[in-house]
Structure 1
Amino acid sequence: MRDDPTVVDLVTRARGGDKSAWDELVVRYAPLVYSVCRRCRLTQPDIDDVGQSVWLRLVEHLPGLREPAALPGWIATTTQRECFRLIRASSRVEPVDPAESADVPEQAIAEEEVLRHERRAILRAAFAQLSRQCQALLSLLTQDPPAPYGEISRRLQVPIGSIGPNRARCLNRLRQTPALALLADGPDGMNEETRR
Structure 2
Amino acid sequence: MMEPETRESLIARLPDHADTTAWLEFVQLYEPLIYGIGRRHGLQPTDATDLVQEVLLAVAQSIERFKPDQQRGRFRSWLFGVARNHSLNKLRSLRGQPQPAGGSEAFKQLDQVAAPTSLEQEFTTAFRRRAFRWAARRVRQSVQPTTWEAFSRTAVDCQSAGDVAEDLGVEIGSVYLARSRVMSRLKRLVQEVSGDGFEAIEGELR
Calculate the TM-score normalised by the size of structure 1.
0.57
Deviation at 1:76, TM superposition (A): 2.2
Name the residue aligned to 1:9: 9
User: Counterpart in 2 of 1:82?
Assistant: 86
Percent identity reads 18
SS at match of 2:74: helix
Which residue pairs with 1:73 in the alignment? 77
The 8 Å contact of residues 35 and 48 in structure 2, kept in 1 or not, is answered as: yes
Match of 2:127 in 1: 117
Q: Which residue in 1 is equivalent to 2:117? A: 107
CA distance in 1, matches of 2:10, 2:152: 33
1:39 and 2:40 matched: yes
Distance 2:12 2:135 in 1: 23
Q: Could you say what secondary structure the match of 2:42 adopts?
A: coil
User: In structure 2, how many angstroms separate the alpha carbons of the residues matched to 1:132 and 1:37?
Assistant: 38
Q: Which has the higher contact order (CA 8 A, sep 6+)?
A: 2
Q: 1:99 to 1:127 in 2, by over 3 A?
A: same
- Measured in 2, the distance between the counterparts of 1:50 and 1:31 equals 11
CA distance in 1, matches of 2:145, 2:152: 11
The total of aligned residue pairs comes to: 153
Structure 2: distance between partners of 1:112 and 1:170:
27
CA–CA distance in structure 1, aligned partners of residues 83 and 123 of structure 2: 11
Q: Distance in 2 between matches of 1:11 and 1:128?
A: 18
Unmatched 5+ stretches in structure 1? 137-168, 187-196
Measured after TM superposition, the shift of residue 40 of structure 1 is 2.4
Deviation at 1:17, TM superposition (A): 3.8
Task: Write the letter of the residue equivalent to 1:117.
Answer: F
Counterpart position of 1:173 = 155
Q: Do the aligned partners of residues 23 and 78 (structure 1) sit closer, same or farther apart at CA in structure 2, a change above 3 Å counting?
A: same
1:146 paired residue number: none
CA contact (8 A) 1:15 1:63 kept: yes
Partner Cα separation in structure 2 for residue 51 and residue 116 of structure 1: 16
- What secondary structure, in the 3-state scheme, does the structure 2 residue paired with 1:5 have? coil
Aligned partner letter, 1:15: P
How far 1:91 sits from its partner (Å)? 2.5
- TM-score, normalising length: structure 2: 0.55
For residues 43 and 11 of structure 1, do their structure 2 counterparts lie closer, same or farther at Cα, with a shift above 3 Å needed? same
Residue 39 of structure 1: how far off its partner (Å): 1.9
Please say if residues 33 and 51 of structure 1, whose CA atoms lie closer than 8 Å, have aligned partners that are also in contact: yes
